[in-house]
Amino acid sequence: MTLFTFRGVKSHGWTFYDSTNNQTDHTSNTEARREPIMSLEDRKKALVQALKDPEEIVRGSASRALDRVEGLARIDRILDAASGGDTQNRIRAIHFLGYLNTNESVGKAISLLQDADPDIRVATIKSLQVNLPERGFIPLATCLDDPDTSVVQIALETISYYKDTKATDLILPFLASNDTDVAIVAAEALGRNGDPKAEAALINVLTQTTDPFLRARAADALGNLHPLPVEE
């Protein structure tokens, strides 16, 4: 089993571990199967220098940026790790895919929405929350038909972050779900999205539903809706 992770602020770069947890150097001739379009060395040097900035906010931003730059330099490895093998290693790789936000990483994430493992599907949807790629919206909508409710719930949450007029129409039917947990997530999603056309449905839930937790989430959502347009 091979696990990998970012080393973090103190020592940047990718670290690979074998099954005995011994660190293994993989910086040989197989560093990458293709050369990057442009050198990343200049930006890496600038970011490494920024880790010494006197302001903590700058050091934090530089640390996150450096992780992404080093991930871009090793995107082939991340794509491979996300594709198969140990589940936890795949989930780590999928997490990094969300931050890379390249055509390749988004394409890989979209393909993983159809993975046989629901844990992989959930991790992939979470990774799409980072940058909300436009071409991920329709594939995410198909996840609302997933047989696993945990996938449906995280898909509802993620769709609510999109400022797409179709988002509310996709979420609304789940407000009437027989699964209370799904209905609660739908109410939260409608509040997060803020589309005022969800008002009537949320009022209905608030006044007619017997479950107090669902009524509470409907009340929260109503308070978060954008104002209705004023007719002149």
Q: Is 150 exposed, middle or buried (0-12, 13-18, 19+ CB in 10 A)?
A: middle
Q: How far apart are CA 86 and CA 2, in angstroms?
A: 8
* Predicted pLDDT at 163: 85
Q: Tell me yes or no: is domain 86-162 CATH 3.40.50.720.
A: no
**3-class secondary structure, 28:** coil
Taking the chain (232 residues) in runs of 10, the rounded mean pLDDT of each run is: 40 35 37 51 92 96 91 91 95 92 94 98 97 95 97 98 92 97 98 95 96 98 88 62
pTM for the complete prediction?
Answer: 0.78
* Predicted pLDDT at 101: 86
Residue spans of the domains in the chain: they are: 39-73, 86-162, 167-226
Into which CATH architecture does domain 167-226 fall?
Answer: Alpha Horseshoe (1.25)
